Chains A and B, each alone.
Chain A
């Protein structure tokens, strides 16, 4: 998974050199090599996506008459979705969630931690890394339970330890899951950023320092430009993951009301709890398009940098 964006990057650059080079394999040979992978991708990725699109054009339900004989309804599901307050609310919640927990939370905090850790050596660094990674590798259901125990209004750890008495999951539900996801995912971006910082030749920073650059100038003019590709890759990955994340359901179930109903949770609620499979599929298709747009924007920026 982590390798793929880099592979994509490589492919984009390879392509430019290949356009002038000789075609060693021949088209048929190339097709034969690609066929098994393309077949698998078609079967497990493209076909489900197309099936989702088909479902999105019907009124299929999980139970009832519309489960046995779904009717073709054209674009009705899509029109309902964009005119329904619930979908727009869910989209809004999702964007806040991605911005708060992925971009600001995980990426920013991850970079900060990686920066602080860059000079650390020995057991302190290892201990810190292990702690951060533990947050990342514990199964989601366990983590969800721990966070409920932490934030519970009646007997939560946080309320017990602090003088305040707030029902966090009811009064600040969105903030709660943003903190939760930041806590959970920061280790991953920290690792990526650490690797990126380590790959920077120390001489660059030395030179900048000798030239009298302040910390902010070093950051802006030396560090960020040299690891720009890594930053974009990390942002792409964690934004897509967060956008598609279902784990907050385990903590708030989308509630109270629909205050934490991100798109994946909204889809689960309409498609499985309410049984509106067709409508859920329509939202899924919209999500797919949004995913594509996010990826497209990021790759455009990366592409520009390479060129």
Chain B
């Protein structure tokens, strides 16, 4: 009897595992039993490129064919199309030619992607976790601490050798900008560009609503007034969009929440992580006002494709004011290669600095605030060809390559020698460089930051979706903060 029940139990176990595993093959990637498998699955796909010629060892001998790869969240004709085109048409051919001239047969593969930034980051983490992945990785500066703490990355000098510091390109990149990919005085990659956050607005909407097309709000009140005016005059237009849902990931934190919080004079981290401060309550109160008055579209925040939908609506003139990075201007709604091109962008899209709650209420007692991020490229410590990969990394950061990029998509780059010309005739980007970057704010480089950022997204969504009152949400935020960084690292509570 006992034996029989054991056998039944065994059959049961096998049956259930088989069911779970079959599900996993087809459509059930989230099933728990195949978590370790998911690691492998994520890794092998684009690891192939770096391991195809894996036998080559460190420095390939002359003439021997070498394959290296670069991964970017960019795809031809889709997300960040200019980056994809730049790599495929400018940098990679030039690099392969240069290597061929030096007697080396090098092929570079671009691993394209057009997914959400959080998914892209997960993919990199999974690749690196199993020791795979592309040799060079397009990277957001604020991931560095957590990736490094996990042991996924290594300093360039460790992977390549001391010749890293000999690169003449470092002289063209300001120390502060280099710092975005530096930890403990060690360089991890070459920074590429930075950005700033502003309020974009549709001049056509403003004109119809009777608002000035050279709009520059001085306080939150000015923003809300403009929103109410649009709401009255044009009921079909969503007046304001401050990203506010978990769906938009980091874009909710950095585009939506942070510039508002900074406008109260409070930063996320001031020697300690800031908990339930008055500033936090004021910032959440702003979101509550915007969305409970219907000045923003609360449903939109909850959609799975909220960010793309926002871009599309703004491009179609269905959103009046949108807080975004200059990325919106130069990439998303760019007339030629944009994801949602606006042909007469320069005429119909206006931009303004983000005001503090009241003049002088912002951090450092500023009247206006902003937040900035940075991108660049890091080297995979698992690369089979560190020297070739370093040659390619240098090529990507060279003056010619960066110059070629800004000819495709003008942006504020890490290189001062390129910026001087690139920003000429680019009033929007010059505006960011001259007016916004001086008052901007960078994310704290702690490995816990991304977890805090998730809590922010959750908190803002709870307020916007009317799940929590501002008070309760602010308390829950502090509680979640304590769970992440510990009681001793949280301050500013009431």
List chain A positions with a Cβ less than 8 A from chain B.
1, 4-5, 8, 11-12, 15, 41, 44-46, 48-49, 51-52, 55, 61-65, 67-68, 140, 153, 167, 169-170, 237, 240-241, 244-247, 249, 251-253, 255-257, 264-265, 267-268, 271-275, 277, 280-281, 283-285, 287-288, 291-292, 295-296, 299, 303
Contact B448 A252 (CB under 8 A): no
CA distance A99 to B13 in the complex (A): 23
Minimum distance in angstroms from B148 CB to a CB of chain A: 9
Q: Can you list 20 pairs linking A and B with CB atoms under 8 Å apart?
A: A1-B18, A15-B4, A52-B33, A61-B150, A67-B129, A240-B20, A244-B20, A244-B23, A244-B28, A252-B304, A255-B304, A256-B299, A267-B31, A268-B30, A281-B32, A284-B35, A287-B32, A291-B19, A295-B16, A296-B12
Set of chain A residues within 8 Å of B36, measured between Cβ atoms: 48, 51-52
> B27, B33, B151: which contacts A246 (Cβ < 8 A)?
B27
Other than the known A45-B33, A241-B19, what 14 A-B pairs have Cβ atoms closer than 8 Å?
Answer: A48-B35, A52-B33, A63-B150, A68-B150, A257-B465, A264-B30, A268-B30, A271-B35, A272-B38, A272-B126, A275-B122, A280-B35, A285-B32, A291-B20
B residues 271-289 near A (Cβ < 8 Å) are none
> B16, B24, B447, B450: which contacts A292 (Cβ < 8 A)?
B16
Contact B299 A167 (CB under 8 A): yes
Set of chain B residues within 8 Å of A246, measured between Cβ atoms: 23, 27-31
Minimum distance in angstroms from B443 CB to a CB of chain A: 15
Contact A264 B122 (CB under 8 A): no
Minimum distance in angstroms from A188 CB to a CB of chain B: 13
Contact A280 B32 (CB under 8 A): yes
Given contacts A62-B126, A267-B30, A292-B13, A67 and B20 within 8 Å (CB-CB): no
CA distance A273 to B302 in the complex (A): 16
CA distance A61 to B96 in the complex (A): 38
Minimum distance in angstroms from A77 CB to a CB of chain B: 12
Minimum distance in angstroms from B245 CB to a CB of chain A: 8
Minimum distance in angstroms from B306 CB to a CB of chain A: 9
Given contacts A256-B465, A272-B38, A46 and B27 within 8 Å (CB-CB): no
Given contacts A65-B447, A244-B20, A283 and B29 within 8 Å (CB-CB): no
B residues 1-55 near A (Cβ < 8 Å) are 4, 7-8, 11-24, 26-38
Most chain B C-beta atoms within 10 Å of own C-beta, residue among A51, A153, A256, A275 = A256
Set of chain A residues within 8 Å of B467, measured between Cβ atoms: 257
Set of chain A residues within 8 Å of B27, measured between Cβ atoms: 140, 245-247
CA distance A280 to B363 in the complex (A): 38
Set of chain B residues within 8 Å of A252, measured between Cβ atoms: 304
Minimum distance in angstroms from A201 CB to a CB of chain B: 30
CA distance A159 to B82 in the complex (A): 36
Set of chain A residues within 8 Å of B14, measured between Cβ atoms: 41, 45
Instruction: Identify whether the interface residues of A are mostly helix, strand, loop, or mixed.
Output: helix
Set of chain A residues within 8 Å of B11, measured between Cβ atoms: 8, 11-12
> Is B454 on the interface with A (CB-CB < 8 A)?
yes
Most chain B C-beta atoms within 10 Å of own C-beta, residue among A4, A255, A280, A283 = A255
Contact B31 A284 (CB under 8 A): yes
Given contacts A15-B7, A48-B34, A252-B304, A274 and B15 within 8 Å (CB-CB): no
> Is B176 on the interface with A (CB-CB < 8 A)?
no
Q: How many residues of B contact A (CB 8 A)?
A: 58
Minimum distance in angstroms from B61 CB to a CB of chain A: 35
> Is B147 on the interface with A (CB-CB < 8 A)?
yes
CA distance A283 to B33 in the complex (A): 10
Set of chain B residues within 8 Å of A41, measured between Cβ atoms: 14, 17
> A4, A51, A285: which contacts B15 (Cβ < 8 A)?
A4
Set of chain A residues within 8 Å of B34, measured between Cβ atoms: 48
Contact B12 A299 (CB under 8 A): yes
Minimum distance in angstroms from A91 CB to a CB of chain B: 13
Minimum distance in angstroms from A247 CB to a CB of chain B: 5
> Is B461 on the interface with A (CB-CB < 8 A)?
yes
Minimum distance in angstroms from A240 CB to a CB of chain B: 4
Set of chain A residues within 8 Å of B125, measured between Cβ atoms: 62-63, 67, 275
CA distance A252 to B467 in the complex (A): 19
> Is B98 on the interface with A (CB-CB < 8 A)?
no
CA distance A170 to B301 in the complex (A): 11
B residues 436-494 near A (Cβ < 8 Å) are 447-448, 450-451, 454, 461, 465, 467
Set of chain A residues within 8 Å of B304, measured between Cβ atoms: 251-253, 255
Contact A48 B33 (CB under 8 A): yes
CA distance A211 to B213 in the complex (A): 86
**Closest A residue, CB atoms, query B318:** A154
CA distance A12 to B12 in the complex (A): 11
| Closest A-B pairs by Cβ, 4 of them | A284-B32, A67-B150, A256-B302, A264-B30
